[in-house]
Structure 1
Amino acid sequence: PSFTYASLIGQAILAHPEKRMSLNAIYSWIIAAYPYFQRDSAGWMNSIRHNLSLNPSFVKRSRDGGEPVGKGQLWTIEAGCEVQFVGGKYKKA
């Protein structure tokens, strides 16, 4: 795909009805949307984690009481940063 990892993460999160996803859900969305990643090594998963951790547009939020049980927190896009993902591509502010 001709998208950066940040773009792929943004696409996944914005496609979710609640605009937040677990790390595993982000992986699953990317694999479903871009079958290329099924053939690739797991190295791309490291890049996804790296982008989530270092890009200030992505933030972790605690699970609400109504969330499905699972480990870890949910990733979302920082309020006001959604405009950086228009058209599925990430643009730094």
Structure 2
Amino acid sequence: SASDRQMTLSQIYNFISAQYPYYAANNRGWQNSIRHNLSLNRYFIRLARKENESGKGSFWRLD
């Protein structure tokens, strides 16, 4: 969760859509940009879920 200073990709999308209604109402091209930047920017760290954690996808954290 955000309190752990990490979020899933879905949580990031939901946060952006809630904070910036423009993105909630428009196409998903911006989501591709988010994925691209998370994957290529060295300041973002991808963390695997623990074996006992339910859900889909990894967590992302700022380095």
* TM superposition score normalised by structure 2: 0.87
1:6 alignment counterpart: none
* CA distance, structure 2, for counterparts of residue 76 and residue 23 of structure 1: 11
**Paired residues, what number?**
63
Q: Secondary structure at the match of 2:3?
A: coil
1:52 alignment counterpart: 38
* CA distance, structure 1, for counterparts of residue 19 and residue 51 of structure 2: 29
Calculate the aligned-residue CA RMSD, in Å. 1.7
AA aligned to 1:48 is I
Q: Call closer, same or farther: CA 1:66–1:17 in 2, change over 3 Å.
A: farther
Q: Is 1:74 matched with 2:59?
A: yes
Unaligned runs of 5+ in 1: 1-12, 79-93
Moved over 6 A (4+): none
Percent of pairs with identical residues:
44
1:63 pairs with 27, 37, 49, which one?
A: 49
1:41 alignment counterpart: 27
* TM superposition score normalised by structure 1: 0.61
Unaligned runs of 5+ in 2: none
How many angstroms does 1:64 deviate by?
3.1
| Larger strand proportion of the pair | 2
